Amino acid sequence: MIVSVLNKHLISATILLAFAFSLLTLPGCGSNKKENEIVIWHNMRPEEKNVIQEQLDEFMKLHPGIKVIQLYKETEEMRSGYIVAAIGGEGPELIYGPSDQVGPFTEMEIIKPLETVFSQEYFSDYNKDALIYTNNSLWMIADKLGNHLTLVYNKDLLPVPPKTEKELIESGMKLTKDFNNDGRTDQYGLVWNYTEPYFFVPFLTGFGGWVLDSLNQPTLNTPAMVAGLKFIQDLRDKYKIIPNEADYDIADVLFKEGKAAMIINGDWSWSSYGNAGINYGISTLPYITVSGHYATPMVAPKGYSINVNVDDEKLAKVRMLLEFLLSSEKQLETSLEVKTFPSRTELYNDPRLLNDEILLNSKKQIEQGRALPIVTEMRAIWDAMRPSYQAVLGGAITPEKAAQLMQEDAVKKIREMREDVDNPVWGLIVQVLMLLIVLAALFFTRKSIVAFFRSFKKNTFAYFLVLPALVIMIAVVLYPFIYNIILSFSNMSLSHIHDWKITGFEQYAKVFVEPQFYEFFLKTLIWTFSNITFHVVIGVTLALLLNKKLPGTGIFRTLLILPWAVPQYIVALTWRGMFNYEYGAINLILVKFLSMSPVEWLKSPTEAFMAIIITNIWLGFPFMMIIALGALQSIPQELYEAADLDGARWFNKLKTITIPLIKPVMIPAITLGIIWTFNNINVVWLVSNAGEPSDKTHILVSFVYKAAFNLYRYGYAAAFSVVIFLILFAFGMTFLKRTKATESVY
Amino acid sequence: MNKKKFLANFLTYIFLIVFTVIALYPIINVFTISIRPDDRLLSTSLSIIPEGATFKQYIELFTNRPFLLWVWNSAIVSFVVTVTGVALASTAGYALSRFQFIGKQVSMLGLLTTQMFPATMLLLPMYIMLIKLQLINSYLGIIIVYSATALPFCVWQMKGYYDTIPFSLEESARIDGCTKWQSFYKIILPLAAPALVITALFSFMTAWSEYIVAAQVLQDTDLYTLPLGLKSFQSNLTTEWGLYAAAALVVSIPVVILFIILSKWLVSGLTLGSVKG
């Protein structure tokens, strides 16, 4: 019986395989560089995307020979993706985004200077802030000015917006209410994503401070910074007009639900408040009377740059497209539709713009604003401000201390980013060493290689079975591996993207002197082992229960795999919401059903770390459950029956029959589970919002991503990765030796 | 005895129910997001059915977005990766379980070590390599990468399962006149059905949910797979959460269906015991 069923299966399998391979050949053949295609990468929000798509459709109708594709990418991903693609000689023809991306792109020489593409008079009509120059070359032409924060207020709660910080506090206190007197605030005077440095900047400028001086050196340790930090603290602790814990989404939702009278948010958000039924108005941020400055946001033009890899023939088409998209007519269309501010000065007196209350107030705020610096140093500034700022909010350090730490950290990060190691002697030594290692490896394995070819004949069948899988693995992995190992000995960084060379062991030395390395290594160990322990214990327990084949277990089995089936991204963010202090389900359960006090999950490092572990346990147990369920099938029922006859207790059966017999299947899953968890950046990133609070909630991979990759320190990042690899390799060897997993059981 | 058994079963159900509730609660939250009228990820209320609940996101998804195209694209890619994964892992795992040959230990360890390098660092060289091989904007490129991602686990897992099947089975098959290949696919492979199910599910999920490589390799919107499509609902600070949530739930349905179909072989046990006995 089995045999005939199998034959049928085999036939269908063969057909499937044939089908599969015919599929493989199909889409692979098309050429990928199309002559008449222009691709734009951008980070526009949905409404903007709709507008540009309509404009592109119009353009394509006018020029039937050209196909334009717009692709949305999240800002950070767009940048790293573009860098990778452009270095590889590919990438979109146009890249659209905020002006600060020009900094790294020009240093890496992956965008074209534009003054040669357009004639000088073409630029005469542009707002000068919309033309992004560095080093006497033009790199970006903006079609929108803005990306700026303003004060948004709910007209139903607050008819007249505050003009000064005193009025802000006054109306804030009036509007922060506990309607039912249960000790919980039901309506806030003011909310915003104040834990994020970008959203703090208005209060740095409001007290007369700024982030960089004219030499691009950080200016964070100033009285203005201290005053700004104290002001935020006071809003929260003294006047109590802002929530205790607020990230972007919480602030957003409070304002949308009418539970906050004011929100500080950017031009991207306004229309969504209208859509949510809020009668909102826009006002400039308050004047700070004690300092005599306006609280001013950063203003960033958004515009287009051209990929350096675009050839001359295509450049003409790209120019045509840009002239079309940047024309006054199209800019006006966009402005009226999505409330952004145009870059063509001839539009500034257009009645259609002047009559729009939102655009008018937005313009006032832009005129007060300060341009976001486009130098790459800004990345280091943000990364340096965030941890200390959040530590002040968490009460761990004083504003004075924070200002000092921010400055030191920023100086250090900029130095690291700019660091240029060049050591020809060591470079040569490393190259010789590499060569020697390769030769030695060949020499010492020469007997095995000969033996391999000899045994090939004897063991043809085994090789025939195992080689296809190995060949695919080697093909995919070998080159990236070697590339990274070489990179880890190199000086590849922001200023050496194309001309990097092997310089020696500096990058490794830096990994081990990094004081946080050991802290995050410990955290990674805790993270990995708590996750895997819970995955295995929960997974195996559930599998044992499901395997009892009671009525209804089929339904449970299916429901229990759902955490694995639903895309991780959204459930991880849902979990983040569930951990919210005031509104999250977890605290509500703790308080209502278990009579415990609520936990500030996301505000302190330990609790935030627990939160990411809990989320990942939830995400990972179904997988172990499925594997354990499969493993349990290999145990002959007779063994249990025999044990029952001997009167064995369930615990004994578990210990002597179940565990030893599922071990061969579980060990590979556990080994790989440990490796994957060790390097699992996603959940950490999403739930802790990239390491918050204060960059304490990291494991090694998320740390290397943030501290090295983000600052374009590729050589260092590669060395760090090789260290991670070696740690896992050492672990893997010991673990396998202990469990004897590479050997057969029978 | 009966009373004891009843109690045991009762506790089993309690435990299963508690875990099912824990497993489902966050997903129910996702469902709530998907029927909320305005795009909001969070809410200050805990009610499952929000005020003004609507299914317009689901309708939008199927009528105004190329959602079905993404499903189709992902289905093709995942299907090919699954077939490749099952075919290559079942054979390689068998060789590693049953035969002694030179390079066996090295290949097993080699498979493991490929998983140890942080993936973010491999992206740049992998991309450069795919450009050189002209595999950008093609499914062939990502299918090979996905297969390579799925294979180490699948091979090890198959090998582990074969290890639990006694050698004596093949020996008696060989005595009965089977060739090596016949005794593999006729006797051993069907007994490894649960492991094949796991291999298939894992390969499928690898391809079904992968985002990072796809985002770098597939630039043509007509080739978009589901994760890329889903991501297009997202934007920096203004994500279309309703659509995203609706799509996320719809996307999990094929996985669940596949699991329901395959679980017949996952838990049937195909009477391994009786063959052994």
Answer whether residue B183 shows pLDDT above 70: yes
Nearest to A575 among B13, B26, B237 (CB): B26
What's chain A's average pLDDT? 87
Are residues A635 and B274 in contact, defined by beta-carbon separation less than 8 angstroms?
no
Cα B182 from Cα A2, distance rounded (Å): 13
Chain B contact set for A580 (CB, 8 A): 42
Give the range among A138-152, A179-193, A586-600, B194-208 with minimum mean pLDDT.
A586-600
Task: Find the range with the poorest average confidence among A1-10, A690-699, B2-11.
Answer: A1-10
| Cβ-based neighbours of B207, under 8 Å, separated by 6 or more | B74, B77, B78, B81, B82, B142, B143, B146, B150
Dist CA A250 CA A245 (whole Å): 9
Residues 483-512 of A with CB under 8 A from B: 483-484
B66-276 CATH, one of 3.40.50.720, 1.10.3720.10, 3.40.50.10420, 1.20.120.10: 1.10.3720.10
CB A235 within 8 A of CB A172: yes
Which residue of B164, B221, B240, B253 is the best one to mutate when testing the A interface, meaning the one whose CB has the most A CBs within 10 A? B164
* Record: contact B102-A87, CB cut-off 8 A: no
Interface test with B, best of A272, A463, A476, A735 (most B CBs within 10 A): A476
Question: Looking at the domain A516-680, which fold is it?
Answer: MetI-like fold (1.10.3720)
Residues of A in contact with B201 (CB under 8 A): 626
Centroid of chain to Cα B135: 24
- A665 contacts A630 by C-beta, under 8 angstroms: yes
The confidence score (pLDDT) of residue A29 equals: 39
Residue B169: name the closest of B187, B151, B192 by CA: B187
**Does the beta-carbon distance from A6 to B42 stay under 8 Å?**
no
Q: Which residues partner with A142 through β-bridges?
A: A303
Q: Which of A211-225, A366-380, A579-593 bottoms out in mean pLDDT, i.e. has the lowest?
A: A579-593
Residue predicted with more confidence, B177 or A93: A93
The mean per-residue pLDDT over the stretch A150-164 comes to 94
Mean pLDDT of all residues in A206-223? 92
Q: State which H helix or E strand residue A633 sits in.
A: none
Q: How close A16 gets to chain B, by Cα (Å)?
A: 8
Residue A192 has pLDDT above 60, yes or no: yes
- Comparing B51 with A241, the larger pLDDT belongs to A241
Q: Which of residues 4-33 of B touch A (CB under 8 A)?
A: 9, 12-13, 15-16, 19-20, 22-27, 29-30, 33
Confidence band of A28 (pLDDT split at 50, 70, 90): very low
pLDDT band per the 50, 70, 90 thresholds, residue B44? low
A473/B189 CB distance under 8 A: no
Whether B145 has its CB under 8 Å from any CB of chain A: the answer is: yes
- Minimum distance, in Å, between the CA of residue A248 and any CA atom of chain B: 8
- pLDDT category of residue A5 using cuts at 50, 70 and 90: very low
Residue B21's pLDDT is what? Answer: 93
Q: Do B80 and A558 touch (CB under 8 A)?
A: no
Contacts of B264 in chain A (CB under 8 A): none
Confidence of residue A41 (pLDDT cuts 50, 70, 90): very high
Looking at residue B123, what is its pLDDT?
Answer: 83
| pLDDT of amino acid A33 | 53
CA A448 to each of CA A234, A359, A459, A468, B100: distance values in angstroms, whole numbers, following the listed order: 72, 75, 15, 21, 14
Q: What are the helix (H) ranges across B65-166?
A: 67-98, 104-113, 119-132, 139-163
Q: Identify the pLDDT of residue A10.
A: 45
User: Would the pLDDT of A232 be above 60?
Assistant: yes
Of A316 and B232, the one with more pLDDT? A316
Burial of A684 (0-12, 13-18, 19+ CB in 10 A): buried
DSSP A214-283: TTS-B--SSHHHHHHHHHHHIIIIIS--S-SS--HHHHHHHHHTT-EEEEEEETTTHHHHHHTT--EEEE
User: CA–CA separation, A556 vs A543, rounded Å?
Assistant: 11
Record: contact B99-A459, CB cut-off 8 A: yes
Out of A20-24, A80-84, A623-627, B68-72, least confident range: A20-24
Give me the phi and psi of A370, to 5 degrees please. -115, 145
Nearest to A466 among B96, B127, B227 (CB): B96
Whether residues A81 and B216 touch (CB distance < 8 A) is answered with yes
What pLDDT shows up at residue A593? 81
Decide: helix, strand or coil at residue A582.
coil
Burial class for B38, CB neighbours closer than 10 Å (0-12, 13-18, 19+):
middle
Q: What length is written for chain B?
A: 277
pLDDT band at residue A530 under the 50/70/90 scheme: very high
Measured distance CA(B117)–CA(B126) in Å, rounded: 13
For residue A347, the 8-state DSSP code is: G
> What Rg, from alpha-carbon coordinates, does chain B have?
23
On whether the CB atoms of residues B228 and B180 are closer than 8 A, the answer is no
Residue pair A155/A280 in contact (Cβ under 8 Å)? The answer is: yes
Task: Give chain A positions within 8 Å (CB) of B277.
Answer: 636, 638
Q: What is the pLDDT of residue B237?
A: 63
Q: CB distance B112–A675 less than 8 Å?
A: yes
* Structure confidence at residue A513 as a pLDDT band (50, 70, 90): confident
Residue type, A275: N
Q: Which residue of A has its CA nearest to B189?
A: A6
Across the interface, whether the CB atoms of B190 and A588 are under 8 A apart is answered no
Residues 79-98 (B) with a CB less than 8 A from some CB of A: 79-80, 83-84, 87-89, 91-92, 94-98
Q: How many residues does chain A have?
A: 746
- Locate A630 and state its tokens: 């499969």
Task: Return the sign of the alpha-carbon dihedral for residues A463, A468, A470, A475.
Answer: positive
- Does the beta-carbon distance from A88 to B266 stay under 8 Å? no
pLDDT at A526: 94
Which of B118, B145, B235 is nearest residue A476 as measured by Cβ atoms?
B145
β-pair partners for A304 = A96, A141
Cα–Cα distance for residue pair A259/B34, rounded to 1 Å: 22
B interface test, pick of A264, A566, A625, A661 with most B CB neighbours within 10 Å: A566
Does B237 sit within 8 Å of A269, measured CB to CB? yes
Candidate from A89, A268, A567 with C-beta closest to B251:
A567
CA distance A222 to A200: 15
Residue with tokens 């060990």: A667
pLDDT in tens, A421-434: 777 788 888 888 88
Distance from B207 to chain A by nearest Cα, in Å? 12
Would you say residue A707 has pLDDT above 90? no
Q: How far is A604 from chain B (nearest CA, A)?
A: 21
A249: contact with B, CB 8 A cutoff: yes
Residue numbers in B near A98 (CB within 8 A): none
Label residue A743 by pLDDT band (50, 70, 90): low
Least CB-CB distance to B127: which of A2, A85, A669?
A: A85
Total Cβ atoms within 10 A of residue A79:
22
Under the banding of pLDDT at 50, 70 and 90, the label for residue A444 is: confident
Residue pairs between chains A and B whose CB atoms are closer than 8 Å: 420
Give A149-296+376-418's CATH code, choosing from 3.40.720.10, 3.30.360.10, 3.40.50.2000, 3.40.190.10: 3.40.190.10
Give the C-alpha separation, A469 to A472, whole Å.
5
- The domain ranges of chain B are 66-276
Q: CA A715, CA A174: separation in Å to the nearest integer? A: 55
Question: Out of B126, B201, B263, whose CB is closest to A557?
Answer: B263
Mean pLDDT of B80-98: 94
Domain ranges of chain A: 37-144+301-371, 149-296+376-418, 516-680
- Dump the DSSP string for A386-420: HHHHHHHHTTSS-HHHHHHHHHHHHHHHHHHHH--
List the structure tokens of A55: 């404009």
β-strand pairing of A137-145 with A302-306 = antiparallel
pLDDT exceeds 70 at position B270: no
Rg (CA), chain A: 30
**B277 pLDDT more than 50:** no
Instruction: Pull the structure tokens for residue A1.
Output: 């019986």
- Which chain A residues in 17-46 lie under 8 Å from chain B, judged by CB atoms? 17, 20, 23-32, 39, 43-46
pLDDT at A732: 87
Looking at the partner chain, which of A72, A88, A570 has a beta carbon nearest the beta carbon of B248? Answer: A570
Q: Which residues of A touch B48 (CB under 8 A)?
A: none
What is the ipTM metric for this complex? 0.89
CA distance B143 to B80: 7
> A745 and chain B: CB distance < 8 Å anywhere?
yes
CB contacts, 8 Å: B197 with chain A: 630
Give the whole-angstrom CA distance, residue A145 versus residue A142: 7
Interface probe for B, chosen from A339, A473, A637 (most Cβ of B below 10 Å), is A473
**H or E element, residue A142:** strand A137-145
What pLDDT, on a 0 to 100 scale, did the predictor assign at position B221?
Answer: 80
**Among the CATH numbers 3.20.10.10, 3.40.190.10, 3.40.50.300, 3.40.50.920, which is that of A37-144+301-371?**
3.40.190.10
Q: In this predicted model, what pLDDT tens digit does every residue of A642-661 receive, in sequence order?
A: 888 888 888 888 888 888 88
Q: Per-residue confidence at A205, pLDDT binned at 50, 70, 90? A: very high
Inter-residue long-range contacts of A426-432, CB under 8 Å, 24+ positions, other chains counted = A426/A503, A426/A504, A426/A505, A426/A506, A427/A489, A427/A501, A427/A502, A427/A503, A427/A504, A429/A504, A430/A489, A430/A502, A430/A503, A430/A504, A430/A505, A431/A502
Rounded distance, CA A108 to CA A88, Å? Answer: 13
Checking if the pLDDT of B274 tops 70, the result is: no
Which residues are bridge partners to A111 per DSSP? A307
pLDDT one-digit tens code per residue, A591-645: 888 878 888 888 888 888 999 999 999 999 999 999 999 889 888 888 888 888 8
